[in-house]
Structure 1
Amino acid sequence: MDKIKERYSNFELLRIVAMILVLIVHVLICLPRPTTAFVIAEPFKAISFYFTDAISIICVNVFILISGWFGINLRLQRLSILLFQVFFFAIVIWGVLVFIEPSKYMNLQSLTTVLMLNGSDYWFIKAYLGLYFLSPILNVFVEKVDQKYYRDILILLYIFQTIYGWFSIDGAAWIAGGYSAFSFICLYLLGRYLKKYGDTINVGRYFRICSLSKGNLLLLFSSIVFLLTFLAYTVTYLGIPIEGRLFTYTNPLVILESIVLVLLFSKIKFKSSIINRIAFSCLAIYLLHGNELILRPYYGKWIAQWYSCETTTSFVMRTSFLIFVVFIMAISLDQIRLVLSKIIFSKSKCV
């Protein structure tokens, strides 16, 4: 969606990292959550689970913060290219499955998944489209209001989301724990604010956020990860059933963790045509494995089986290999989509 040549590779690498974290999050949702009995009997495994969750849960927030950092320009041609990419993968996946098992997938229910008509079908794409359509209004707001008003609106939005989308996870069902256009709008505005006013944001009484070194940001990021891990382990050990609430997109700690990682990568400057090219296709990774015809029936099923039947080492190796295969397949398949996009949208400067 964005011109590759306009960006350094730091944020392109972060896009790739975020998409790998999406793959890991989708591994974790296929596994049983640690129970009190489990954390007592297998403390190392429980800590490893929570540590992995604490790092990977920032994936979606980071992706949208990057969009906010650079801004979204609504153009019909770019929208068409995005939709073409989405439906290219949806149709290819459906077509392959129909070829393999026609009796199972040649039906109306499967077609509704292709068209994203069910609630869980490519939820990220639908939430992003909501943000995309509203981006012109959001951009006008960002440019017209002063910093104090902008900051106050952000604070109000996040107070509201924290109360009704985190403390009371169902307090406002349309926030959906961060799986919504509303949360994406909040993150987009936050990303724009960081880019526009980051130099004026104070951390405590003495430091401005722009003055924090890469080492300090990495230390802060690690501290949040360890804090989330410790909190999750502790509440589970004590039998308090709230650890899942810690690993939601709307958790203020998760949002802060996402911000810190974005700021860390903003301080890393380098260029790599290979990274830029891969990042240009990284959405394909989600579109391939996150399709509801694939995610639970295949990706999730295999992971759950390995977790139940294999040793820990074997499970980690098999799962890592699966993530690698999905990554390579998605990027490779997207090259075909790019060729078709160039043919169909020959006048586009975005492909």
Structure 2
Amino acid sequence: MIPSIRQHRNRNLDLLRILSMFMIVLLHSQTFGIFHYGLPSGIHLFTLYLFRNLAIVASNCYVLISGYFLIKKGFNRKKVAYFAFEVSLYSAIIYLIMVIFTPLTFSILDFLHWVFVLFWGNYWFATLYLVLYLLSPFLNLFLKQLSQRQFQQVLIGYFVIFSIWATFSQLPILGMNEGYSILTFILLYLIGAYFQLYQLPFKWQSGWYLFYYFNSALGLTLYFFLVNYEDWMIYYHSPFVLLATISLFLFFKETHFKKTWGSALIPFIFGIYLIHEHPLIRTLLWEEWIPVYQISQYPLMNLILLGVSGLIFISCLLLSLPLHKLSTFLFDNLKRKLN
């Protein structure tokens, strides 16, 4: 691939990372705000479902992008160590801030809990992402031994078992845990790796991928609104969600944007998740600081929800700037001392 084209596509996928993080915030505003306290009705409910079905691909996009890049990269111990260090630092600092500014009492056991937060699953995505990264060299070793046809067979078989069968049977023994599973992450990794290694057998204009993504969300919304809301249809491993994820990924991969401005923000984007999704922040955020459940009957409810999500996104991004720099500074100094 020509270097300029590769760099352009990388910047496009950076934009997808940024959009995905915004959609994650939007999803959480629904899950811990509106959905937790009762649903609106009429057009408000329809629009709420539509936003949810559009945003449900966000976490999947993050993992798929990782598979796309990691299949070509060697295992980097420094990146793994830094990722774990940054998550721990954010978590511990937030705990200390809450001790200072809220009635929360300091406890050494609690402090250690938040330092080693990756072990307890409080940040489910971060824990699974770390496990996936640790598995990536073994996945790469296996996948690179396969021919394209063998890779296709592995991918189709995995998809049939852990997406289609697991979704429609909902068998606990398959271990999908409603999509919150390393098996889901591995499936997304395989898909991303395939798109990196091989060309698609067909060539669509990028707009068709966006068309499918939007209509997939619209179809689910109509079903939820007219028939019944079914959680299992939008589990992360659901074929409906996976196909929508692939469509949005391919749209960004194949579209040539004239300007891509988001790459400079990428080091700070994951911090948005670490800040607003910290368990000590989450309850206060959605119940006291910004009680979004109170707007469920407002005429402009969904526009307000978008605005609130944007405000949280920007606020956490600004907080992430110094925290990320502090994390980098401390990690580099610690690494020098250990060396």
Amino acid at match of 2:256: K
Correspondence for 1:334 among 291, 310, 320:
320
- Measured in 1, the distance between the counterparts of 2:323 and 2:101 equals 22
Shift, 1:268, TM fit: 2.3
Instruction: Flag the 1:298–1:319 CA change in 2: closer, same or farther, 3 A.
Output: farther
Task: Report the counterpart of residue 247 of structure 1 in structure 2.
Answer: 234
- Alpha-carbon distance between aligned partners in 2 of 1:173 and 1:299, rounded to the nearest angstrom: 35
Distance 1:145 1:97 in 2: 50
Q: Aligned match of 2:21 in 19, 22, 38?
A: 19
C-alpha distance after superposition, 1:116-137 (max 9, x if no partner): 2675400001101111011001
Aligned to 2:163: 162
* Structure 2 residue matching 1:108: 3-state secondary structure: helix
Instruction: Provide TM-score, normalisation by structure 2.
Output: 0.85
Q: Check if 1:88 corresponds to 2:120.
A: no
Distance 1:343 1:100, change over 3 A: closer
Cα distance in 2, alignment partners of residues 107 and 128 from structure 1? 27
1:260-271 to 2 correspondences below 5 Å: 260-270=247-257
Residues 298, 114 of structure 1: alpha-carbon distance in 2 compared, 3 angstrom cutoff: farther
- The amino acid across from 1:48 in the alignment is T
Q: Does 1:308 align with 2:310?
A: no
2:3 aligned partner: none
Contact 1:174 1:180 in 2 (8 A): yes
Please state how far the C-alpha of 1:76 moved relative to its aligned partner: 1.4
Q: Assess, with a 3 A threshold, how the Cα gap between structure 1 residues 86 and 301 changes in structure 2: closer, same or farther.
A: same
Partner of 1:225: 217
Count of aligned positions: 325
The letter of the residue matching 2:235 is T
User: CA offsets per residue over residues 21-52 of structure 1, 9 Å max, x none?
Assistant: 110111111223799xx78xx32122111101
Deviation at 1:191, TM superposition (A): 0.8
> Which amino acid is the alignment partner of residue 32 of structure 1?
F
Which sits farther off after the overlay, 279-288 or 6-15?
6-15
Indicate the larger mover: 76-85 or 328-337: 328-337
| Residue 133, structure 1, aligned to residue 134, structure 2 | yes
Q: 1:234 to 1:317 in 2, by over 3 A?
A: closer
Asked whether the 8 Å contact 1:164–1:172 carries over to 2, the reply is no
Q: Residue type matched to 1:172 in 2?
A: I
Residue 149 (structure 2) aligns with:
148
Q: Is residue 178–residue 250 contact of structure 1 (8 Å, CA) maintained in 2?
A: yes
1:46 match? 45
Identity of aligned residues (%): 25
Which stretches in structure 1 are left out of the alignment for 5+ residues?
201-207, 237-241
Amino acid at match of 2:160: I
CA pair 314-226 structure 1, distance change in 2 beyond 3 A: closer
The answer as to whether partners of 2:75 and 2:137 remain within 8 angstroms in 1 is: yes
Unaligned runs of 5+ in 2: 1-5
Shift of 1:63: 0.6
Q: Which moved more, 1:172-181 or 1:247-256?
A: 172-181
Q: Hey, what does 1:32 align to over in structure 2?
A: 35
Q: What is the Cα deviation at residue 304 of structure 1?
A: 8.1
Q: Which aligned pairs between 1:178-189 and structure 2 lie closer than 5 A? A: 178-189=179-190
For the 8 Å contact 1:66–1:191, the answer to whether it is kept is yes
1:9–1:269 contact (8 Å) kept in structure 2: no
| Mapped pair 1:212 → 2:198 | no
How far residue 270 of structure 1 moved from its aligned partner, in angstroms, is 4.5
Contact 2:118 2:126 in 1 (8 A): no
Superimposed CA distance per residue, residues 270-300 of structure 1 (whole angstroms, 9 cap, x where no aligned partner): 58674111122111111001111112x2123
Letter in 1 for 2:132: L
| TM-score relative to the length of structure 1 | 0.82
Give how far 1:164 is off.
Answer: 5.8
CA apart distance, 1:62: 0.6
Q: Is the alpha carbon distance of 1:125 and 1:33 closer, same or farther for their aligned partners in structure 2, counting shifts above 3 Å?
A: closer
Which shows bigger deviation, 143-152 or 166-175?
166-175
Deviations 1:159-217 (A, max 9, x none): 221356422435237321221222111100111112222333xxxxxxx1xx1102222
**2:279 corresponds to which residue?**
292
Check 1:302–1:170 CA distance in 2 against 1; reply closer, same or farther (3 A cut).
Answer: farther
Distance 2:199 2:109 in 1: 49
SS class of match (1:345): helix
